Structure 1
């Protein structure tokens, strides 16, 4: 695999976001969207709202990357951070509040958050991030020409490379359990990609689904004895409950190939992972273009990361517990994230 050496280990200290650079946690209070306000020195000051679906390492890292890009740009801004705690009704309420408050721009982290914001405004610019496929999710007309007030950065996974990684580490695996939440449309897209890749490798597969985090332990337990390994994509519900997945899977000798690095840090075996901090940083750069240069989201293509920009990661502690040899990954420049 031609994967770059991992960039930097992302921090999970979301509570520090308000202390970064010029950001000050405050409500969005402009009279109209997109105009900013004027500071005493005559420069523009922007009100930015953030709606994050839930808390887990990947989404937190995207949030941090976005804030870092704003800080690096030197713009003056105030930011309001809101987290829906994976509650759809909370997404709707927060989205409406941010719109009513007249933000100049809103960042939506994860598909349900973006859908909620897009459903209540066609005027305020929206940047989405940690979204697998904007077009398939109904957020834009097309990924090349969004056509509305929403654009952003996609976390479309290198699923085929992840399946190659599974075969490399687990050459004797005959059946793979595909674990995801049925409420997440982007997970279905990735699962279909995984099934196609596994078919090409001659490896059998079976879907195992949850509708909420409460079902994770029972569903993973149901895999024991029926599959040789587990694959889970960048699914927010599974990512938030990854410690439960790892507890059951690892105790029963089931290696888990994951969609992203945070899931590996929390007990998964390995991944070819999007760098979510970089993903959020690019979303922040797009936001700055919109706010300061008048860029139009309708004509800003959705940005994606190539597999060469992804991180090869593994968890040595998990590998030791499972008896899986991951030394080849270290030789390829992979990063052990077990101490993260």
Structure 2
């Protein structure tokens, strides 16, 4: 009888230890660090999407989640310093928003899980060896877009367009990849791209002015320098009646006639789901990189008026949102 009581006591004690250990694991604070190459509406929406996904899944900053954010303010040198500081702090997961910030992270750690987002081609950027599960500490969500629908949209805005202007930063891998792919895609349709490099944000306006009289339309991607100075680009387009078409919806709010692309807020949510999977025990190297899966068309009617374009009913009806001001 005594032995039975002792065994029962030991079993109850073991159960209690297991219960409290499990409870401690559940309430243990997680640490997620987020860094972005620069702050602008598209990337800010990515960050908000990640943070909201964490919150929606019960990770509350200040309670069971330590959340840290740092912007590199457009500087690769700053991105490298932030990466070193984050790695020294040893978070559970680091989120890299945009290619330069993620490249800095990947160069700094091979062990702490990294989730990239707002990166067009992780393979070309040397973040992952392929689009398969990397078996490394890196995975994430790409914002790569098929260019054919983009060209279709350009022609719906400007049916006789032959020469397409492209303002970009030559130091951004995302932008140079799109430039090469767009050149090939346009040539197949008897069209031509005229590139205007702008190394710094302050060069955007000058680069746009250089396209005056040479192009029928200007197309922009999520180049961080360009997006950071989008109002300056839109001002040139308005003054010179050059239609402006973009690949990220936020740019329509800031002066593009049309923007066909991913919702960057939803892209952030998608990346946030991967962060949660890692916090729950999955290895980043077992999760293949993904591509954003929600696209939308935003139309700015006032921008069309300023840039001398009459929008067809077909375009207006296909828009998820129409900006009237």
Q: TM-score, normalised by structure 1?
A: 0.84
Report if the CA contact (8 A) 1:158-1:272 is conserved: no
1:301 aligns with 2:288: yes
Report if the CA contact (8 A) 2:156-2:315 is conserved: no
1:318 aligns with 2:306: no
Q: 1:59 — aligned with what? A: 43
Note the residue ranges of structure 1 that are not aligned, 5 or more in a row. 1-36
Q: 2:97 — aligned with what? A: 109
Cα-to-partner distance string for 1:273-299 (whole Å, 9 max, x where unaligned): 11111111011110111111x111112
Residues in 2 aligned to 1:42 and 1:247: alpha-carbon distance in whole angstroms: 52
How far off its partner does 1:40 sit? 6.9
How far off its partner does 1:268 sit? 1.0
Match of 1:183 among 150, 153, 171: 171
Moved over 3 A (4+): 37-42
C-alpha change, 1:160 and 1:94, in structure 2 (3 Å) is: same
C-alpha change, 1:331 and 1:67, in structure 2 (3 Å) is: same
Match of 2:161 among 161, 167, 173: 173
Alignment of 1:138-287 (within 5 A): 138-287=126-275
Cα-to-partner distance string for 1:168-217 (whole Å, 9 max, x where unaligned): 11012221112111010111111222222211221222111111112111
Q: 1:13 — aligned with what? A: none
C-alpha change, 1:191 and 1:218, in structure 2 (3 Å) is: same
C-alpha change, 1:200 and 1:41, in structure 2 (3 Å) is: closer
Residues in 2 aligned to 1:174 and 1:282: alpha-carbon distance in whole angstroms: 36
Report if the CA contact (8 A) 1:38-1:44 is conserved: no
Residues in 2 aligned to 1:42 and 1:244: alpha-carbon distance in whole angstroms: 49
Residues in 2 aligned to 1:140 and 1:98: alpha-carbon distance in whole angstroms: 20
Q: 1:74 — aligned with what? A: 58
Residues in 2 aligned to 1:40 and 1:140: alpha-carbon distance in whole angstroms: 35
Aligned pairs, number: 300
Residues in 1 aligned to 2:52 and 2:83: alpha-carbon distance in whole angstroms: 23
Q: CA RMSD in A?
A: 1.8
Residues in 1 aligned to 2:324 and 2:116: alpha-carbon distance in whole angstroms: 30
Match of 2:108 among 120, 132, 145: 120
Residues in 2 aligned to 1:311 and 1:117: alpha-carbon distance in whole angstroms: 30
- Greater relative contact order structure (CA < 8 Å, 6+ sep): 1
Residues in 1 aligned to 2:109 and 2:324: alpha-carbon distance in whole angstroms: 42
**Bigger helix fraction:** 2
Residues in 1 aligned to 2:300 and 2:253: alpha-carbon distance in whole angstroms: 7
Q: 2:7 — aligned with what? A: none
C-alpha change, 1:243 and 1:64, in structure 2 (3 Å) is: same
Report if the CA contact (8 A) 1:229-1:255 is conserved: yes
How far off its partner does 1:39 sit? 8.7
Cα-to-partner distance string for 1:43-99 (whole Å, 9 max, x where unaligned): 221011111110111101110000011011113311011111111111011111111
C-alpha change, 1:38 and 1:184, in structure 2 (3 Å) is: farther
Residues in 1 aligned to 2:198 and 2:25: alpha-carbon distance in whole angstroms: 54
Q: TM-score, normalised by structure 2?
A: 0.88
C-alpha change, 1:303 and 1:338, in structure 2 (3 Å) is: farther
Residues in 2 aligned to 1:42 and 1:330: alpha-carbon distance in whole angstroms: 49
